[in-house]
Amino acid sequence: MKLLILNGPNLNLLGLREPAIYGTQDYAALVRFVEDVCRQENIECEIYQSNHEGALVDKIQSAYGVFDGIVINPAAYTHTSVAILDALKAVALPAVEVHLSDVSQREAFRQISYAGMACVKTYMGLGFEGYRQAVQYLKHLLQK
């Protein structure tokens, strides 16, 4: 089983970026966390981060026929990107949305998730742990 883990803009600045909201651990720590989870779950993974919407769209498109599922934290593009929504719908791979923070308790402009409309499940407000839940959810779904 092979999963693509996608992270959107500014997640590369974890640790530095609004630590009261996103925590003090950096992006390298998130990558290690997800790699450890996938190793424990016996899942192959590729982890990709970009600050560019088109690069994320390209990566989703290239997942078709290569990966079995997608875990995506589209970051700010969650709330703006119809292109990412359309790409997820186009490849039609099972996708799970993750947010480190609990976006449901934040600003009004964060209350819409376009990407989430193409996802089978969303985890938010769990920090890094949300990625573990997402990987495990997809594993169980794909094993059915």
99 in active site: yes
Q: Applying CB under 6 A, which residues contact ligand DQA?
A: 10, 73, 75-76, 78, 99-101, 103, 110
Phi, psi at 103, each rounded to 5°: -65, -20
- Kindly state the smallest distance separating residue 91's Cβ from ligand DQA, in Å: 21
Closer Cβ to ligand DQA, 1 or 126, answer by number: 126
CB 41 within 8 A of CB 70: no
Task: Please name the residue that has the structure tokens 């990566």.
Answer: 59
Rounded to whole angstroms, how far apart are CA atoms 100 and 132?
12
Closer Cβ to ligand DQA, 107 or 143, answer by number: 107
- Kindly state the smallest distance separating residue 108's Cβ from ligand DQA, in Å: 12
- Kindly state the smallest distance separating residue 79's Cβ from ligand DQA, in Å: 6
First-to-last alpha carbon distance for the chain, in angstroms, is 13
Catalytic residues: 22, 99
